[in-house]
């Protein structure tokens, strides 16, 4: 099972999880937990044609659809099941991982020294999951501090 949240860790998480599912001959279950947020609307704003809750639910399904399409493009032979589950992230992920062989989640790059490598959701899942948890880092983007050779080199021609 892989948990996704729309962050830059989703592609490497899904690549890792899809490869593992292919090697094990298993179905890849991709879960996105979402919670409705309160609409911060000005009192004079016209009402939405579509309810705020429905909009957020549609956004959750759209995020999940993009994630699943990404996983399928990487490993087209993997069976993928998508689950958009309403609820707090940690309990929702743990509930869906209860019968899983493995839970795959994202983590931040370790070189971001100001922040812990594991966010609060991943950290809680690592501590409480009934199955093994794999954390996959987002790719580290080069910065100016790395020097000019670390930055992407231009290719092609400008016309």
Mean pLDDT of 62-68: 91
For residue 115, what is the domain's CATH number?
A: 3.40.50.620
In degrees and rounded to multiples of 5, residue 45 shows phi and psi of -70, 145
Mean pLDDT of 137-156: 59
42 vs 2 pLDDT, higher one: 2
Q: Among 31-40, 110-119, 127-136, which range has the highest average pLDDT?
A: 127-136
Number of domains the chain contains? 1
Supply 39's token pair: 């609409």
In a 3-state reduction of DSSP, which class is residue 82?
strand
In a domain, 155, yes or no: no
Q: What is the pTM of this model?
A: 0.78
> Confidence band (pLDDT; 50, 70, 90) for 8?
confident
- Whether the CB-CB separation of 67 and 30 falls below 8 Å is answered with yes
At residue 79, the pLDDT reads 93
Mean pLDDT of 49-62: 81
Domain span at 82: 2-36+51-139
In a domain, 116, yes or no: yes
């Amino acid at each position: 099972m892989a948990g996704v949240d729309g962050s830059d860790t989703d592609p490497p998480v899904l690549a890792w999880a899809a490869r593992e599912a292919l090697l094990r001959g298993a179905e890849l279950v991709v879960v996105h937990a979402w919670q409705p947020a309160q609409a911060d609307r000005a009192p004079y704003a016209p009402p939405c044609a579509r309810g705020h809750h429905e909009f957020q639910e549609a956004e959750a399904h759209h995020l999940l659809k993009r994630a699943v399409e990404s996983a399928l493009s990487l490993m087209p032979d993997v069976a993928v099941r998508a689950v958009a589950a309403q609820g707090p992230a940690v309990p929702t992920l743990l509930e869906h991982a209860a019968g899983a062989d493995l839970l795959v989640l994202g983590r931040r790059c370790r070189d971001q020294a100001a922040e812990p490598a594991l966010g609060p959701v991943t950290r809680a899942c690592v501590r409480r999951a009934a199955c093994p948890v794999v954390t996959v880092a987002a790719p580290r983007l080069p910065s100016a501090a790395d020097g000019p050779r670390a930055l992407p080199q231009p290719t092609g021609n400008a016309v």
